[in-house]
Amino acid sequence: MSLRRLTKFKRLLSPFTTSRTLTTQQNQNINEEKETHFGFEKVKESEKERKVHKVFENVALDYDVMNDAMSLGVHRLWKDYFMCQLSPTDNTKLLDVAGGTGDIAFRFLQYVKNGNYKNCHVTVCDINSNMLEVGKIRSERLKHQPETISWKEGNAEELPFNDNSFNAYTIAFGIRNCTHIDKVLEEAYRVLQPGGRFMCLEFSRLENSYTQWMYDQYSFQVIPVLGQLIAGQWKPYQYLVESIRQFPNQEDFKRMIEEAGFRQVSYENLTLGVVSIHSAFKL
């Protein structure tokens, strides 16, 4: 289909177009402090952390239900696959950053239990205590051995851990919410032991521009509506879909990981590129 025909096609679907600059309407101030993005809104860097915190404070209780609704349950498959790719063995000390409600950590515990691997431990670190609370409650319900999992409040850009203290680091659907991605990567490098593995699961760019367009439509038309219907909140989900577009694409992110000092950096797209798994090693 030529570009012109695609434009005509787009016009037919005009009732479905929306103002994607919801948040920019409300922001008028631009001053000297360095700016970054909060979804499509421009904010001061110092503001972003607070705003992101607010988002997750609001969504914590409905987080899991919303994830299921938005992805029709597929996020579970992504996370399952992610853990399989990590393939932990004996003596794995995992740090799961932005691990909030525990999805990755719990899969880790299940994986090492299934494989009968010894001496494994996961530390869940998140900047938001509400998310950690939800995770703790879930963990209790699932009856995990308390010595295999710990919970720590902390900032991915300034981790409260010593150098070389973990041999695996994961961050799933968290890095795009951080203000300074380069700092997060530097910290990841610092806390990993030599030979340690970094893995990131994050929303990314679709390989095909037409499917990207369909995915955009779904994201902007449907997801905030679902947020309103299920969680009673529109804006956090508007932020969610905008922030996905602000995150670097697969190649750029790969470069950033290399710049932090990691080697053997690779990525794998899932679901046509809706999400991508980046893997790297501290060598």
Residue 167 assigned ligand-binding role: no
Residues binding another protein (CB under 8 A): 14-19, 22, 25-26, 221-222, 224-225, 228-229, 232, 234-235
Amino acid type, 68: D
CA 279/CA 223 separation, integer angstroms: 29
Q: 263 - beta bridge partners? A: 281
Min dist. Cβ of residue 239 to another protein (A): 12
* Closer residue to another protein, CB minimum distance, 23 or 155: 23
Min dist. Cβ of residue 23 to another protein (A): 10
In the three-class reduction of DSSP (H, G, I as helix; E, B as strand; rest coil), residue 3 is classed as: helix
* Closer residue to another protein, CB minimum distance, 7 or 162: 7
Residue 17 assigned ligand-binding role: no
Min dist. Cβ of residue 225 to another protein (A): 5
Residue 126 assigned ligand-binding role: yes
37's tokens? 């993005």
* Closer residue to another protein, CB minimum distance, 142 or 229: 229
Min dist. Cβ of residue 34 to another protein (A): 26
In the three-class reduction of DSSP (H, G, I as helix; E, B as strand; rest coil), residue 129 is classed as: helix
Beta-strand relationship, 192-203 and 275-281: antiparallel
* Closer residue to another protein, CB minimum distance, 13 or 84: 13
> In b/e form, how buried is each residue of 231-261, taking b as 16+ CB within 10 angstroms?
bebbbbbbbbbbbbbebeebeebbebbeebe
The DSSP result for 38-71, as a single string, is: ETTEEEEHHHHHHHHHHHHHHHGGGHHHHHHHHH
CA 270/CA 191 separation, integer angstroms: 28
Min dist. Cβ of residue 12 to another protein (A): 12
Residue 105 assigned ligand-binding role: no
- Selection from 174, 179, 110 nearest residue 145 by Cα: 110
- Selection from 174, 171, 220 nearest residue 199 by Cα: 171
* Closer residue to another protein, CB minimum distance, 214 or 225: 225
Detail the residues annotated as belonging to a binding site for S-adenosyl-L-methionine: 101, 126, 155-156
